[in-house]
Amino acid sequence: MWFGLALNPVVLLFLLFACSVLAPGSAAALERDEIKVADTSSPRTTLKSFIDGCNEIYELIHAKKYLDQTAPEQDELVARVLDCIDTSKLPAFTREERAGETAVCLKEILDRVRLPPWDEIPGTEEIEKAGGFEKLSHWRIPGTRITIARVEEGSRRHEYLFSPGTVERAIRYFHQVQPKEYRKEGDGPEVSKNFYQWYFSVPGHPALAAIVSRLPEWMQRGRTWGLANWKWPGLFVTLLITIALMVVAYKLQAYFTRRWREKGLARHWLTLLFPIAAMLVPLAFGYVTRYYLTVRGTPLYTLTFLSMTTMFFAALVVVFGVSSRIAESIIASPQINPHGLNAQLIRIVSQTLSIVAAAILFVAVGQHLGIPIATLIAGAGIGGVALAFGAQDTLKTLFGTVMLMADKPFRVGERIIFGKYDGVVEDIGLRSTKIRLLTGHQVTIPNGELAGTDIENVGRRPHIRKISDIHIPLDTPREKLEKAIAIIRAALNSHEGMDPKFPARVFFTDFVPTAFNIRVIYWYNPPNYWDFLAFSEKINLEILRAFEEQGIQFSLPFRVAYTSVENEEKPIEVRMVDGRGTS
């Protein structure tokens, strides 16, 4: 069980790692200390670092005809550009790509507006002369909505970055100013014409770039629904391959699980490789769409969200698969009955741990997708309440199962009496218990009913008690009555299956109509019912033979006979008759 506690977090950590690969946030920003970073000590240095970095990336794309996102020099340039942007308010799963699109849109805007001379933009010296950075919280480019603001908290405190508000408005703002002409050469910093179109159109691999270069212009530069036309076929083929691989992985898992389940735990564990492979498929899909097809904008955010969601559900399959196999590995121990309550308790605990791990995954992935944790918890709470109302019977049954596991009123193989049912327990499940009745029929009873009702466990009795009354006719002489008592006591003296703590008891207890009553009580151990019946038959025959030898008769069952009333004025005649007809 502790092994299971260790494995489920491993799956969780793997999923979080996969999240970082699908949406690395800002990989360049995480490595700021290892490469040349942007100078963000003032609005002037931030703006200059941003414009120069964008121009260098633009020239690199034009030279290579593709966007090599793995090249070290390009990675450094991208990091310098993104260092100038405050991405703290962007969702983690789209942070890097959203920041990249924002940077391109900002550069396109800056290439269309007149920028003030560098010496008119506040620099480090101007900030110091003004009394320090506390005196300059932000600076806005004249005639625009673009603001460079000082960061007040966090690891980048006191740096000047494009503000979160600017980042949020940049894409919409760009589409508003896009119809305007670019700034003329010599009228400010260098202009990177059609940077946005290049960013959304170029592929991410030289071999792919060679193929795209042979396509018509409308395929290369044209866009449909925010995506370059040439990317749609590639995306369609990649999506088909992804779906096919996941379907094949789960089909293989189902096939080998059926074949290997009964061939040992080792093979059963190997079947987990298929859902793990299925969990890796969305990761590969995200990598191809991001770094080869260079999908951008809303299509990328949508595909990334779907990939993350798919991988989340695939991870749930792995989590529950790991937990179930751990439970079965523990139950396979010789000390545990695979059909007993302990085995069912292990399965319940394992499934509970899986649900806890799934909840952690839900919160972690939700936060990574940009959903506030308060919203996640509130949604989980509302869903839990709705589930509780909709599954009251199920919860009652589950609670009954837990109570049965804790109290253990019976085990598989024991005979129990529950209400009108009398039979042997065949199986104790998570929802119900199966009982094989003495008639041969099988009945299934919900565990909730069993937990809330009295149960007589016949299988746990230490012995079988027999109580019987022997009637001797009233006209029997006292000497024969005493002889009858002595005969019965002698027959049961140190009898077969007697527990010394429970010797047989024989007493003349009462006078009944037409008979003397002799009460006979004895206990038989071990409580094997068929052996008990054989012993009872033996004792009865022995007593019968002894009575016949001594001339002692049994009083037959007593009954009352009523005569019919023919006349209302005639009294009712009542005759008391014993079994031989004596009145």
- Which of the two residues, 399 and 152, has the higher pLDDT score? 152
CA-to-CA distance for 287 and 291, rounded, in angstroms?
6
- Which of the two residues, 175 and 390, has the higher pLDDT score? 175
- What pLDDT score does 386 carry? 52
- What pLDDT score does 23 carry? 46
The CA-CA-CA angle for residues 277, 280, 282, to 5°, reads 125
Q: How many Cα neighbours within 13 Å face the side chain of 326?
A: 22
- What pLDDT score does 541 carry? 93
Give the pLDDT confidence of 62-87 residue by residue, as tens digits. Answer: 887 777 666 777 778 888 899 999 98
239 pLDDT above the threshold of 80: yes
For residue 190, the SS3 value is coil
- Which of the two residues, 567 and 103, has the higher pLDDT score? 103
Location of structure tokens 């890097």? 96
Question: Phi and psi of 561, rounded to 5°?
Answer: -110, 135
- Which of the two residues, 6 and 112, has the higher pLDDT score? 112
Nearest alpha carbon to residue 554 among 535, 575, 580, 533: 580
- Give percent above pLDDT 90 in the chain: 24
Q: Who contacts 308 (Cβ-Cβ below 8 Å, separation ≥6)? A: 19, 22, 23, 93, 282, 365, 368, 369
Q: What is the mean pLDDT of the chain?
A: 80
For residue 314, the SS3 value is helix
Nearest alpha carbon to residue 194 among 114, 107, 294: 107
For residue 160, the SS3 value is strand
pTM: 0.57
Q: Taking the mean position of all CA atoms in its chain, how far away is CA 23?
A: 24
Nearest alpha carbon to residue 297 among 196, 206, 146: 196
CB 216 within 8 A of CB 80: no
Q: Where are the domains of the chain?
A: 31-202, 228-390, 402-459, 462-550
- What pLDDT score does 392 carry? 54
DSSP letter, residue 567: -
CB 167 within 8 A of CB 102: yes
**Strands 515-524, 456-457: parallel, antiparallel or unpaired by DSSP?**
unpaired
> Any idea which architecture 402-459 has in CATH?
Roll (2.30)
Report whether CATH 3.30.70.100 matches the domain 462-550: yes
CA-to-CA distance for 391 and 380, rounded, in angstroms?
16
- Which of the two residues, 488 and 398, has the higher pLDDT score? 488
CB 167 within 8 A of CB 85: yes
Mean pLDDT value of segment 163-175: 91
- Which of the two residues, 199 and 549, has the higher pLDDT score? 549
Helices 392-407 and 341-368, packing angle to 10 deg: 130
Mean pLDDT value of segment 148-176: 90
Instruction: Give Dmax over CA atoms of the chain in angstroms.
Output: 143
Amino acid 313 reads F
